[in-house]
A and B are shown apart, each in its own frame.
Chain A
Amino acid sequence: MDAILLQILNGLDKGSAYALIALGLTLIFGTLGVVNFAHGALFMIGAFCAVTLSRILTLSHQVVDETRKDFLGNPLQVDVPYVYDWFGEAGGSAIIDWAVPLSILFAIPIMLLIGIIMERGLIRHFYKRPHADQILVTFGLAIVLQEVIKYYYGANPIPTPAPAAFTGSFDFGAALGFDPNTIIYPYWRIIYFAFAALIIGAVFAFLQFTTYGMVVRAGMADRETVQLLGIDIDKRFTMMFGIAAAVAGLAGVMYTPINSPNYHMGMDFLVLSFVVVVVGGMGSLPGAVLAGFLLGILESFASMKEVLELLPGINQIIIYLVAIIILLTRPRGLMGRKGVMEE
């Protein structure tokens, strides 16, 4: 029992990332009808927003420290971040420590902007072109974005730690009445899951309970009629693209402490996220979220030692295998609607 619980928990953080990316992909597909292969790149850019902010925060100037001497007896030159000057030493170090959570605020406007520029500048011209062209142009864009990041940040992963307060682990075993130390789960992963749930909830609430969201949903159902009613639906769809980009970006920001960001992380996630979208059902938002968590958890079950002894290597292929089975038995995916992308 505790082993099963542990695997479910382990699957949640990866599942959260899949779900968030797949949600954005589906949002774009549902509103604009575009298959966005550059979505993984947006996830990666979000992660690098966190890297950038923590670099900005640690920008320092050199100060001569009279109290400390180097080996020649001269006063030591010390790097002092500017934030220390502004907020005092304690405040400054706290801000640097909390760089990743702070990046959320930093990343939202940037990602919105990138999303809107992308939609207005490039994707807009591809609505009437075949899906293959959309895939190809966004694939090209993904390569470009990835290479730009590689040029500025290098090819190596950049460790970006979580705030010190969250570095420990939580002992679920003890809390739930199992033996202590059987189910140990890092705090940051709990936060990641909670954060993902919050974002997903917010997106759904936005679509379900606001007038803006209602119009967007109406536009997804019947774009032409909404336009006939005198509503500028294109503008709202552009906004939705920005929001989808922001969701992917935030998923990336919060993922940095779990996996140090590198330039190809987006592509690694993208392939799997696409599988997730297809499994969930093209165009279905709840399907995307459900499939994301489901596949994340399945993946972590497949990497259990007992399973691996029975079926070696299954952890590497489980997601693809499930996708193949689902596509062949339920062609529309788990919760796909009729008539979406069927020809």
Chain B
Amino acid sequence: MFGLNKRDTGLIAIVTVLVILAPFILNPFPEGSAMAQFNAGYPDLMQRFVIFGIFAIGFNLLFGLTGYLSFGHAAFLGVGSYGAIWMLKLFSLNVIPSIIMGVIVAGIFALAVGFVSLRRSGIYFSILTLAFAQMSYALAYSVLTPITGGETGLQIKSTDSPLLSNLEPGEIGRASLFGLDMRSSFEIEMGDWLFTFNTGYYLAGIVMILAFYLAIRITRSPFGMMLRAIKSNQQRLNYTGLNARPYTLAVFVISGMYAGLAGGLMVAMDTQVGPERMFWTASGEVVLMTILGGAGTLIGPVLGAGFIKYMENIISKINKGILEQWFAFMPDGIEDLLITLVYPFVGKGWHLTLGLMFMAVVIFLPGGLVEGGQRIGRVFRRRDRKSEHAEADAAKQRNTPAE
């Protein structure tokens, strides 16, 4: 369907269903119960899942396919955000032109950065992209304050009156989709459960499905094949008389546009930007997401983004009181011991857990969560069928890395 083979159609169908039903799936625990803090079905978090999913899909197109590790991808997200917010402030409160603007601005910026950075590869490429991103961050923070708002960033203010909207004087504009407020939600109460359906989330969700579809098409196309050839042996490619630069530059720009799309969507959701969005830790985060999920796979980056954002929200919410509640059934001594052991890893210590998890994945599971899933799947399959069949199957899986 839509030019996809059976497996990819299945994959995108699963993602679509998950995105549509996310408000139900992510809210498995009734309101007010002890487990309610593990619910992730609130708009803010769901929006972040899909937006960072887009960001990671785009990053993975570059890193997963060509092996070029960019350490400055957040710059494109930031630039896209600035482009988008200016569109909201000056042109129209409709989010569509502003998102398009974000993509275009990020694409142009990526073209400039890529043109320079892609002259080198390996660690030099990483350092060059990092240098560009840090430069953009520093400039956005200081000299470009008239455009970027400096440290405070940009918000929609009561003094803004976009060209295509008729706001009352003093009224603060709200981002909307053809009159549909991005922040509006529709709530369903079912017994103890409360499900929230948010306009912004569904817009971002639809965009993510489209972005995911496009990524599959790119991966499966001759162009995607070319990119994988660059990863496996660029020299051999050169010997056959092919120049890799146009391909890498094209995918770099596409990847930057994905980042700009994510940035534009972020602005559409919360109508604000700050330079910290471009700081190198933000670039590091998308690298973590992609690796954790599984670089070079289709679904991996989305999984990684969702996983990290979910853990970030949930783990950093756990505090001493909650831990005491959990371990209350144990004898006092053991309870205290367990709390002392666990406490450094939760709440403010979330980054410690993230770092450890990340190291564990890089050391033991270089293919990320997807490889973990495949390994488990293989174990079961081997038990089902007899060995020869499974071996052939496993070998086949190993030969098709893009899954």
Residues of A within 8 A of B (CB): 35, 122, 125, 129, 131-133, 135-137, 139-144, 146-148, 151, 267, 271, 274-275, 278, 282, 312-313, 316-317, 320-321, 323-324, 327-328, 331, 341-343
Contact = CB atoms under 8 A, between A and B. Distances in A.
State the main secondary structure of chain A at its contact with B. helix
B119 A343 contact: no
Interface string B64-84: 000101000000000000000
B359 A140 contact: yes
B139 to A, nearest CB: 6
Contacts of A317: 134-135, 138-139
Q: Which 9 A-B pairs have the closest CB atoms?
A: A313-B143, A143-B355, A316-B138, A147-B352, A140-B359, A320-B131, A144-B355, A140-B358, A317-B135
A144 B352 contact: yes
B284 interface: yes
Given A136-B287, A313-B139, A320-B132, A328 B123 contact: no
Nearest to B358: A140
B349 A147 contact: yes
A331 B139 contact: no
Nearest to B63: A132
Interface string B193-211: 0000000000000000000
B159 interface: no
Given A147-B351, A324-B128, 6 more contacts: A146-B351, A147-B349, A278-B124, A282-B123, A320-B135, A321-B135
B234 interface: yes
A127 B352 CA distance: 25
A19 to B, nearest CB: 18
Given A125-B363, A321-B135, A343 B349 contact: no
Contacts of A320: 131-132, 134-135, 138
Nearest to B143: A313
A343 B122 contact: yes
A133 B362 contact: yes
Contacts of A139: 284, 287, 358
A122 B363 CA distance: 9
B311 to A, nearest CB: 14
Interface residues of B, number: 42
B131 A275 contact: yes
Contacts of A327: 120, 124, 127-128
Contact of A316 (B139, B280, B287, B352): B139
Contacts of B127: 274-275, 278, 323, 327
Nearest to A312: B143
B10 interface: no
A148 B352 contact: yes
B227 to A, nearest CB: 16
6 contacts: A143-B352, A313-B142, A316-B138, A324-B131, A327-B124, A331-B120
B126 interface: yes
B291 interface: yes
A312 B291 CA distance: 38
Nearest to A319: B131
Contacts of B149: none
B42 interface: no
B225 interface: no
B124 A341 contact: yes
Contact of A343 (B132, B139, B235, B366): B235
B238 to A, nearest CB: 11
Contact of A135 (B67, B126, B143): B126
B349 A151 contact: yes
Contacts of A331: 120, 124
Contacts of A140: 355-356, 358-359, 362
B123 A144 contact: no
Contacts of B69: 132, 135
B158 interface: no
Contact of B116 (A278, A282, A328): A328
B264 to A, nearest CB: 26
B123 A131 contact: yes
Interface in B339-378: 344, 349, 351-352, 354-356, 358-359, 362-363, 366
Nearest to B355: A143
A179 B344 CA distance: 56
Interface string B129-150: 0111011001101111000000
B121 interface: yes
Given A132-B69, A140-B358, A316 B123 contact: no
Given A275-B131, A327-B128, A131 B355 contact: no
Given A131-B122, A282-B123, A323-B127, A143 B134 contact: no
Contact of B280 (A132, A135, A271, A321): A271
Given A278-B127, A282-B123, A316-B142, A136 B291 contact: yes
A269 B121 CA distance: 23
Contacts of A342: 122
Contacts of A132: 67, 69
Given A137-B359, A331-B120, A143 B135 contact: no
B134 A271 contact: yes
Which one of A142, A282, A312, A317 has the highest number of Cβ atoms from chain B below 10 Å of its Cβ? A317
Contacts of A129: 366
Contacts of B351: 143, 146-147
Contacts of B235: 343
